[in-house]
Amino acid sequence: MLNPQRLVVLRALAERGSFTAAADALSYTQSAISQQIAALERETGTALIERGRKRARLTEAGELLLAHAGAILGGIAHAERDLVAYVEARAGRLRLAAFESAGAALIPSAVDAFHRRHPGVELNVVQMEPEEAAAKLESRELDLAVVYDLEPPSGALGEDLELTRLLDDRYTAVISKRHRLAGRHGVRLSELAEEVWINTTERDLCHEIILGACRAAGFEPQVAFEVDEIATSQALVARGVGVTLLPHLALGSRHRDVAVVSLGSAAPVRRIYAARLVTPHPTPACEAMLAVLKETADARGES
């Protein structure tokens, strides 16, 4: 295999016409130039230089090799630039997933900050619930995902993921503004025991949060509606057909006809994480986005 540095020496010798001039140009000794050319001739198995009394000239084989040297050295330089850009997160690709409310509350600010700092990285973002995102991370179809889990953990995220805690997302009671408790700053969950409830579907991890919180308060909720869309859930509450619990991240776009009432220290909490596959060599772009997500979460002041 050809040594790139020896090609640099060959090119300098061809351009300057003597071992002395090539040595001066490269800050080598004349002996070092001679050794590099001799080694290159051994690598190629042919003479590359005709050594005259006053001037060194390339042989036909030397001219042939020189014709390729520019492309070889240019390709190496290009590869080095690309690699440096990758290492410094100035190039590459990042595939990111986030669940719905994080997608609305965290991701826009994070994407904006990431694009400003790393404009050369191709960023793809998709909405995805935690269990699906965990599976996509494990199959290497994603690089990073914003996910949540219950407390205690549900086990839905698997053991092959590295979780970086971003914030705690506290639940609150959401009732119609016409509800008898709407003017209160806080309520006990047991005060809603006789209400009709709106929950998420079973495929949503939050489904168990509402059931578990109600049972801990001493009652089984009368669930009449199961919807996963935050806007639909709030619209039903606004109409006065039921009550629900929603996490703080989901209330960034609050329906004008709903009231939010604190559950105090009894409020259930979900943990929000940035998840990636456990690896000793995470990509620089992934590391950069993880830092941005932590900054974005810290700025909300909710953890």
For the stretch 223-240, pLDDT in tens is 999 999 999 999 999 999
User: Which pLDDT tens digit goes with each residue over 3-59?
Assistant: 888 888 888 888 888 888 888 888 888 888 888 888 888 888 888 888 777 788 888
Confidence label for 88 from pLDDT (cuts 50, 70 and 90):
low
Q: Residue 183 has what pLDDT? A: 87
Provide the pLDDT for residue 91.
58
- For residue 188, give the 3-state DSSP assignment: coil
Which band of pLDDT confidence, cut at 50, 70 and 90, is reported for residue 67? confident
Q: Are 44 and 71 in contact (CB under 8 A)?
A: no
User: Residue 264 has what DSSP assignment?
Assistant: G
3-state secondary structure of 295: helix
pLDDT band (50, 70, 90) for residue 303 = very low
137-163 average pLDDT score: 85
CA dihedral of 156, 113, 299, 144, whole degrees rounded to 10: 10
Name the nearest CA neighbour of 2 among 35, 42, 58, 29: 42
Ordered domains of the chain (ranges, CATH): 4-87 (1.10.10.10), 93-166+274-300 (3.40.190.10), 168-269 (3.40.190.10)
**pLDDT per residue over 188-229, tens digit each?**
999 999 999 999 998 887 888 899 999 999 999 999 999 999
Share of the chain above pLDDT 90, in %: 46
> Does 147 or 16 have the greater pLDDT score?
147
Supply the mean pLDDT for the chain. Answer: 87
Residue 82: is its pLDDT beyond 70?
A: no
73 compared with 98, residue with greater pLDDT: 98
pLDDT at residue 87 is higher than 70: no
- 226 Cβ contact list (under 8 Å, min separation 6): 198, 199, 200, 201, 202, 207
> How high is the pLDDT of residue 84?
60
pLDDT of residue 246: 95
pLDDT over 70 percentage in the chain: 93
- Give the β-pairing of 122-127 and 222-226: unpaired
Q: Does residue 294 have a pLDDT over 90?
A: yes
The 10s digit of each residue's pLDDT in 249-288 is: 999 889 999 999 999 988 999 999 999 988 877 888 889 9
* Amino acid at position 262, single letter: S
Q: What is the mean pLDDT of residues 112-117?
A: 93
First to last CA, the chain: 56
DSSP symbol at 262: B
**How far is CA 224 from each of CA 20, 228, 242, rounded to the nearest angstrom?**
91, 14, 8
The DSSP output letter for 45 is T
According to the model, what pLDDT value does residue 255 have? 93
Q: Say what the pLDDT of residue 90 is.
A: 60
| Angle, helix 4-16 to helix 19-26, in steps of 10 degrees | 120
> How high is the pLDDT of residue 208?
87
pTM: 0.69
